[in-house]
């Protein structure tokens, strides 16, 4: 029996955090910095020392940082994946969610940045806590959620499949949601779906958006593809209910 078949946790990690390599016998390993107990992208000095050791032992001394706020060992032998996983898991760097909803991008926000209009990290952590079921995350599939605490857009919210922007309203923190953004060859800017939300509402808002996607998607369709096919109206209705219907009639 293979190590993957014998160990479901290892299999889940290889499914999400191990990517194809151009050279046969090698793989690309994503070390997740999305531990739900910390700010997205956070890493300790002790963890970095360990990663440096793993890079020397398993990846020709090279480690890369990505704009998705993870680390990458770019050249790991397939035969050494289990050893790398065991080390990463022990160090808290093996969360098997690369490319999923909770593998989100988040700027420092109002906790650390003087330019921010609102906090970002608590919103990210609240969403991660709401979506903590791996089976459900795998069912949702690939999706990019980006959070910025102000219009400087350090969290790249404009190009998130789901974008969240912190805004200031009379000295209070609110959050604007956009859908349909994308990076890559089919780059697009997300469109705001409607009025902004208080911080406590945000996990529920994201849940409603995901519910609409799961109800509307066609076989094999990713979130961004569903948004592009259906447009924003089903999502507005799912999030705002009767208010979205009234708005649509007013604009007709």
As averages over each run of 10 residues, the pLDDT of the chain (252 residues) reads 73 96 98 92 97 98 96 98 97 97 97 95 97 96 98 96 96 96 95 97 98 97 98 97 63 52
Residues forming a β-bridge with 27: 20, 76
Comparing C-alpha atoms, which of 189, 187, 180 is closest to residue 232?
Answer: 180
> What pLDDT, on a 0 to 100 scale, did the predictor assign at position 35?
87
In this prediction the pTM is: 0.92
Per domain, the residue ranges of the chain are 3-90, 105-251
Maximum separation of any 2 CA atoms in the chain, in Å: 63
CATH fold of 105-251: Sulfite Reductase Hemoprotein; domain 1 (3.30.413)
Token code pair at residue 169: 């309203």
Residue 79: Cβ-neighbour burial (10 angstroms; 0-12, 13-18, 19+): exposed
Cα(148)–Cα(137) distance, integer angstroms: 22
For residue 217, the 8-state DSSP code is P
Q: Which residue has the tokens 């890493």?
A: 43
> What pLDDT, on a 0 to 100 scale, did the predictor assign at position 1?
43
At 74, phi and psi to the nearest 5?
A: -85, -15
CATH architecture of 3-90: Alpha-Beta Complex (3.90)
How many CB atoms lie under 10 A from the CB of residue 220?
A: 7
**Does 3-90 match 105-251 in CATH topology?**
no
> What pLDDT, on a 0 to 100 scale, did the predictor assign at position 37?
85
> What pLDDT, on a 0 to 100 scale, did the predictor assign at position 195?
96
Q: Under DSSP, is residue 161 helix (H, G, I), strand (E, B) or coil?
A: coil
């Amino acid at each position: 029996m293979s190590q993957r078949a014998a160990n479901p946790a290892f299999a889940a990690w290889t499914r999400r955090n191990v990517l194809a390599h151009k050279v046969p016998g090698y793989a690309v390993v994503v070390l997740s910095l999305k531990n739900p107990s910390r700010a997205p992208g956070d890493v300790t000095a002790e963890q970095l020392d360990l990663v440096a050791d793993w890079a020397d032992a398993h990846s020709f001394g090279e480690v890369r940082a990505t704009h998705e706020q993870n680390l990458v060992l770019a050249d790991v032998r397939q035969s050494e994946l289990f050893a790398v996983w065991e080390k990463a898991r022990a160090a808290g760097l093996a969360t098997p969610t690369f490319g999923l909803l909770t593998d989100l991008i988040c700027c420092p926000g109002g906790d650390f940045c003087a330019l921010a209009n609102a906090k970002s990290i608590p919103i990210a952590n609240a969403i991660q806590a709401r979506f903590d079921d791996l089976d459900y995350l795998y069912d949702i599939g690939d999706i990019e959620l980006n959070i910025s605490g102000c219009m400087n857009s350090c969290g790249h919210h404009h190009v998130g499949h789901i974008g969240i922007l912190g805004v200031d309203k009379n000295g209070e923190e609110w959050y604007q949601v956009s859908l349909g953004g994308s990076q890559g060859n089919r780059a697009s800017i997300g469109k705001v779906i409607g009025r902004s939300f208080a911080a406590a509402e945000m996990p529920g808002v994201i849940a409603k958006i995901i519910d609409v996607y799961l109800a509307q998607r066609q076989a094999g369709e990713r979130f961004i593809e569903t948004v592009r096919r259906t447009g924003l109206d089903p999502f507005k209705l799912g999030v705002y209910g009767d208010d979205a219907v009234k708005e649509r009639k007013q604009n007709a």
